[in-house]
Structure 1
């Protein structure tokens, strides 16, 4: 039940915050910048209003998740830090003497209160609205790109992943006490995941018995991650990998197992739209949706910057029809026009190969049909037949006992002359130089906000992580722009 959510805090100790949380503290600045009551309005329908115990205020729960994203900490560590960090308590609108929540409440809040809220779009809209209100957005340009996030479980087997996390704990412990090697259990030689989980539990128990070691922050963080992973495997995933993650490809020789976030960012480096998908999806297919979402925030758009993935035929036509300037170099393999089974095969512009709906990339390609015989040549892509034989999606795609699996597309005899002429102009070349800004933003999301690896399983979990990370980086950017404008 939610009630008295906005009651005044009458603690006699509130004045402490004026002493220990300076005006230039980032959390104080965010608190003054954003009216978080919009969260309460959005989540009211997910709470009972006249029955049960009073719930922790949804605004406070949301702020816990925002802190988790800003500081890239586990649920346990963010709650632990909020016990003693006065800037955290101030931001959470708590009295200095107030008790913190149980970390498990954050998991329940994510799963029970944030479903069907459309949090990603809502938070981006809110930050862009603040920026427009502060007159911080002057440009009419958006830059588009996609950044990948590895599944929490990566491409490692469950056993390998657990081994890695337990190793991180041991390494952290050895930095402070090498004698602990004698106390740790013998590593399991079994290939059973259950045995590896038991070993991890023993590691956790040994470290927790040594209170002087377990309290060291560097050890505690690794230990909490291991505990969360063990719990996740035991209770949620039943020893399986992420059910929603897919294989995506960065180049012909490198791949990842996880998700993609398709991002639009304006020239002021504020993210104006984002779409979270599974890892195998093609970047260019989401351009028009990113433009639409950016416009819904109130952004005026005249120019779009992107890499070759966005120069598909449909996107060029869309830009022309909507009087938009598309700064994206042509790729003959992408702009080949109509092709069969478009929904089943995606072109990966980095690798120069097609990827099937199961996430498998073609292993080679070759031109077929003769030149100058009254028909266009075709580019034929060959897939690994051994993977096709055991693929769960082979029905309707692979014929039993077939000796090869190929996919062919027609090679156009003429290119898009207008776009080709434009991309050779000085105006195109000058504007294209600004695309680096979104690569820097992707790096910030990954390096400072933990966006390189998913924190939970499933597409919904990835969307929640994206919403909080993008909200955090946008707020930080708005604060920076406000300082520059002073």
Structure 2
């Protein structure tokens, strides 16, 4: 029988209830509150507050917790976050507010950010504090590290931009590469190159007039739009170890060394590194192998013209430092250019008579040129490691680690789009989002480890452990008699529901 309840008088019913009673015992905010002590924030901000002058300020822990609520639950804006806190009992409980307490205005955090937090490393320190807690609890596994980047759509109109020429970004390994180039040239009896008066290279880019710090995304034929890139490193358990924010038009390989050093500083050095094809460059391979880290990188398609010989069809002779073409001709060393590539050239007199000339080169003077980077041996070693079982299995784990991290950050924590403008504010969002991600993992892990939270189930666990010792003390002297009469299987079935007893009875 259908029952229709039209009595709405319960809405005005007065009940005696506390806010503590209304928050479910397994709510995420309860897990976070029980797992993490936020008092460390006071030490981080004590030099940013005046002790004696002005009106009392809002508790800094409350300010940070408000942003944690926003990025933990993927709320789009601070204005909407405040509206959610006003009506959500669990959020009020997390902030320490009662039913009738006034929630801060949505502009409070932005004002405090401009006056106190802007230009500081406060959010970086908060991220590091949570990461250190995860390390102390044994949640971080540095057997392998996974690195990649993901795009964040900027709050900028893609049609409002201007084209400008800017200097190309200086590579972090520039000095080391220049030294290697001159060392190689001297080895072959050539004059060292002078890099001091090298011309500045310019490139044309699109600058947004709405958010000049953002960069135009143009990758894999996606829709052109302005955005940022979040470069992230995580471990095998999916814990984020470090993050760097750049405009979207900065290539992953340009940020790798900074991300690598930051990861090593935060969590230590890993044994292996699983990276995408964008990181497969000679400098990165050299950096990892010099550090004693095994690089695991995928196959990259050879860059060659259709219908022409591939580079791998030319055999490199390390002893004589030359290449041998498919027809047996030797390509001898010619020079080492400014980009760090050694050039090997064929004899045009021999090439013009070769029947495979049309498949080898389209050069007018019939000269085939093969280039080899001064750090090419590191690339060859990585290519060899790619075929090993260890690297194949590790690279497959990217889908369960770094790719899953990106999916959760975007779908659950609102990092697909940013409403903020300026790289400093966007980096703050990335740091806080990554902090919330680690915080949730840490809180859930501690909760499960404690069987329902701190203190939950501890008495039962101690009682079962004591009882199992008593049972074991009684059974052990009579083990031969029990085995003789076949009581062991009956005992196992009787205590199968208690994992501790099941383990104890496996001595049979």
**TM-score, length of structure 1 as denominator length:** 0.63
Match of 2:412 among 436, 448, 469: 448
Looking at structure 2, the residues matched to 414 and 18 of structure 1 have their Cα atoms a distance apart, in angstroms, of 64
- Maintained 8 Å contact 2:253/2:278: yes
Looking at structure 2, the residues matched to 20 and 369 of structure 1 have their Cα atoms a distance apart, in angstroms, of 79
Looking at structure 1, the residues matched to 123 and 339 of structure 2 have their Cα atoms a distance apart, in angstroms, of 31
Greater shift in the superposed pair: 241-250 or 413-422: 413-422
Looking at structure 2, the residues matched to 53 and 279 of structure 1 have their Cα atoms a distance apart, in angstroms, of 42
Structure with bigger gyration radius: 2
Match of 1:19 among 15, 21, 29: 21
Work out whether 1:109 is the aligned partner of 2:103.
no
Looking at structure 2, the residues matched to 371 and 121 of structure 1 have their Cα atoms a distance apart, in angstroms, of 58
Distance 1:157 1:51, change over 3 A: same
Work out whether 1:47 is the aligned partner of 2:11.
no
Q: What is the DSSP-based 3-state SS (H/G/I as helix, E as strand, rest coil) of the residue aligned with 2:227? A: strand
Looking at structure 2, the residues matched to 371 and 268 of structure 1 have their Cα atoms a distance apart, in angstroms, of 57
Aligned residue number for residue 367 of structure 2: 373
State the shift of 1:121 in Å: 2.9
Looking at structure 1, the residues matched to 154 and 284 of structure 2 have their Cα atoms a distance apart, in angstroms, of 30
Distance 1:253 1:91, change over 3 A: closer
Looking at structure 2, the residues matched to 415 and 471 of structure 1 have their Cα atoms a distance apart, in angstroms, of 35
Q: What is the DSSP-based 3-state SS (H/G/I as helix, E as strand, rest coil) of the residue aligned with 1:110? A: helix
Match of 1:263 among 228, 232, 257: 232
State the shift of 1:112 in Å: 2.2
Distance 1:97 1:424, change over 3 A: same
**TM-score, length of structure 2 as denominator length:** 0.60
Looking at structure 2, the residues matched to 252 and 368 of structure 1 have their Cα atoms a distance apart, in angstroms, of 29
Aligned residue number for residue 398 of structure 1: none
State the shift of 1:18 in Å: 2.7
State the shift of 1:316 in Å: 0.8
Aligned residue number for residue 213 of structure 2: 244
Match of 1:468 among 410, 423, 432: 432
Matches within 5 A, 1:28-43: 28-43=30-45
Segments of 5+ residues of structure 1 without an aligned counterpart are 1-12, 159-238, 343-366, 379-409
Looking at structure 1, the residues matched to 363 and 227 of structure 2 have their Cα atoms a distance apart, in angstroms, of 37
Work out whether 1:325 is the aligned partner of 2:298.
no
Aligned residue number for residue 350 of structure 1: none
Work out whether 1:121 is the aligned partner of 2:124.
yes
Q: What is the DSSP-based 3-state SS (H/G/I as helix, E as strand, rest coil) of the residue aligned with 1:97? A: coil
Looking at structure 2, the residues matched to 280 and 14 of structure 1 have their Cα atoms a distance apart, in angstroms, of 58
Aligned residue number for residue 70 of structure 1: 72
Q: What is the DSSP-based 3-state SS (H/G/I as helix, E as strand, rest coil) of the residue aligned with 1:449? A: coil
Looking at structure 2, the residues matched to 144 and 413 of structure 1 have their Cα atoms a distance apart, in angstroms, of 22
Looking at structure 2, the residues matched to 15 and 126 of structure 1 have their Cα atoms a distance apart, in angstroms, of 36
Distance 1:292 1:484, change over 3 A: farther
Matches within 5 A, 1:371-410: 373=367, 375-376=369-370
Aligned residue number for residue 265 of structure 2: 296
Q: What is the DSSP-based 3-state SS (H/G/I as helix, E as strand, rest coil) of the residue aligned with 2:37? A: coil
- Maintained 8 Å contact 1:120/1:463: no
Aligned residue number for residue 471 of structure 2: none
Aligned residue number for residue 477 of structure 2: none
- Maintained 8 Å contact 2:19/2:98: no
Match of 2:135 among 110, 132, 136: 132
State the shift of 1:341 in Å: 8.4
RMSD after superposition: 3.2
Looking at structure 2, the residues matched to 132 and 144 of structure 1 have their Cα atoms a distance apart, in angstroms, of 19
- Maintained 8 Å contact 1:369/1:376: no
- Maintained 8 Å contact 2:282/2:376: no
Deviations along 1:64-116, one digit per CA (max 9) or x if unpaired, are 11111122322222112222322111111223321111111122122222212
- Maintained 8 Å contact 2:238/2:405: yes
Q: What is the DSSP-based 3-state SS (H/G/I as helix, E as strand, rest coil) of the residue aligned with 1:49? A: coil
Looking at structure 1, the residues matched to 444 and 121 of structure 2 have their Cα atoms a distance apart, in angstroms, of 27
Q: What is the DSSP-based 3-state SS (H/G/I as helix, E as strand, rest coil) of the residue aligned with 1:416? A: helix
- Maintained 8 Å contact 1:369/1:377: no
Q: What is the DSSP-based 3-state SS (H/G/I as helix, E as strand, rest coil) of the residue aligned with 1:461? A: helix
Count the aligned residue pairs: 336
Aligned residue number for residue 422 of structure 1: 385
Looking at structure 2, the residues matched to 412 and 288 of structure 1 have their Cα atoms a distance apart, in angstroms, of 16
Aligned residue number for residue 502 of structure 2: none
Looking at structure 2, the residues matched to 253 and 143 of structure 1 have their Cα atoms a distance apart, in angstroms, of 24
Segments of 5+ residues of structure 2 without an aligned counterpart are 1-14, 162-207, 304-335, 341-360, 452-508
Work out whether 1:273 is the aligned partner of 2:242.
yes
- Maintained 8 Å contact 1:277/1:459: yes
Looking at structure 1, the residues matched to 378 and 289 of structure 2 have their Cα atoms a distance apart, in angstroms, of 16
Aligned residue number for residue 60 of structure 1: 62
Distance 1:28 1:253, change over 3 A: closer
Looking at structure 1, the residues matched to 16 and 381 of structure 2 have their Cα atoms a distance apart, in angstroms, of 65
Looking at structure 2, the residues matched to 415 and 323 of structure 1 have their Cα atoms a distance apart, in angstroms, of 12
Aligned residue number for residue 152 of structure 1: 155
Match of 1:480 among 444, 450, 474: 444
Aligned residue number for residue 252 of structure 2: 283
- Maintained 8 Å contact 1:376/1:411: no
Work out whether 1:438 is the aligned partner of 2:441.
no
Distance 1:240 1:420, change over 3 A: closer
